[in-house]
Each structure stands twice: as structure tokens, then as C-alpha cells.
Structure 1
Amino acid sequence: MSSELQEEIRRGEEGGRIQRTVLRVKAFSYKHPALRAIHLTLVTVLGALFVVLGIIMLVTPGPGWLFIFLGIGLWSTEFAWAHRLNQRVKRLALKAWRWWSNIVAEWRFRRARDKPHHLLQGPRHLRVTAHGTGKK
């Protein structure tokens, strides 16, 4: 499972159409000081809006963590501290995912190992019991 998550992160870091568009807009806005100020203000305000909405959604229905990470990701296009925070969170998420995957694998192994052997797999109405009938 962790290799699937790592592959997904790698594909996201490679960038795509959205990242190319963001880089074009950023390059265009750097050509003029007024456009740069507007771009920086827009990124700051939208990032803050996403983070605040995400925090609100942590206690109300909605994808709170997604919005928080989107806000930090938006900030990381302009601010080095946000980029470092984003990288740190990715490392922690991968570590937590590996830890959880190992726990689940251990549970499944123990459940399969300790399963009573007199039970048969399959739907209950098709199981053959020791008496030779499928139904009780």
C-alpha cells in the first residue's frame, strides 16, 4: 500500500497541466511590480481562506484537512516556510501510512492464522456443515 501512496505523491510532484498554468501565471505576474503585488495578495488571501475554511470544516461536516492542505499548498507556491511545512507533512503522512498499513497487515495475518478451522468460507446458505446439510 505504501508504494501506491509513494507513486501517487511522485506523480503529483512531477506536475501537470495545473502546475504549468500556475507557473505561467506566476511568470507573467513577475513582469510588472503591480501584477506581482496582486498575485502575491491573491495567493496569500486564498491560502488563508482555504486554511480557515478547513479549520471550520474540522468541527462541521466537510473535507477540513483537504482544505487546510490546499491552502498550505497554495502558500507553498510563494513562501519557502510553507513549502518546507508541506514537505514535512508529506513525510509524516507517509510514515503514518506505513505504520497503519503494517498494523492492518498484522491484524489480518493474526485473524487468518487464528481462525477456527471448522468454519468454512462462503455464504452461510451454501456452507456444508459436519452433518452434511447446508441449513440448520
Structure 2
Amino acid sequence: MAKPKIQRSEREWREMLTDQEYAVGFQEGTERAFTPGNYESEKRKGVYHCKGCETPLWSSEHKFDSGTGWPSYWQPIGEGVVATKTDFKMIYPRTECHCANCGMHMGHVFKDGPPPTGQRWCINGIVLDFRPEGE
């Protein structure tokens, strides 16, 4: 994964994020599935931005109901906005994704999503800021 463009100290991140946002975003944690307010069931049109740097990362146009309890997308909003690396924390390697701009951990990408990409970008809603279309 390339070095993020926005860099802050741990102290700076901790001052701007809640403890849980920091744990998920910079200690590569995972929020519980079906956590209230995590955007899993959000149906409005709009854009999901990185909570760490406000970069637009995901569009409601690419969102689908995966049934997993986390917001899922079949692709990021554009090229180069999300960076990936291999995560070996489980029994098998997974592809972890981060905001390419600030490095905040978003979640993981799997190869069991819908057409046209076949990908399921499974994202922690706690690290997102949803902005409804027209607001």
C-alpha cells in the first residue's frame, strides 16, 4: 500500500475521532455486524466519504444488500481512492482496504459480490460519513 497523502500523528487522530472510530480506522478493527447507524440499511442516494479526510469513496449507485451486516459496494466511487493490502490476521489471507488519501482502514474486499465486478467491498460504517444527494 502506498504512503497516504494526509498524515497525522496518533494524538491528532485520537483528538478528532472517537475511541471506536480510531480502533477501526487505525488499529484495523471491525465494528460488529448490524451495528445501528453503520449505513448497512441506508437506502437514500448519496456519497459515502472517509471520516478521516472527507474523501468521497463509495456511491449509493454501487451499494448492494449483501446480508452481512456491513455496508457493501461492488466498486469504489473512482480509480485510486481506495488502496489495498493483504491481511494475514485470519486463517487465510484477505484483501484489506484503506482510504488512499489518509490511510484509514475501511474493511475488506471479497470475490463474492454481484455483477459487473463480482466484488464485495465490505466496509465498516463507523469510518464513513454519508452525505445524501441534494443536501
Q: Which has the larger radius of gyration?
A: 1
Between structures 1 and 2, the one with greater strand share = 2
TM (norm. structure 1) is 0.22
TM-score calculated relative to the size of structure 2:
0.22
Which structure is higher in helix share? 1
Higher relative contact order (CA 8 A, sep 6+): 2
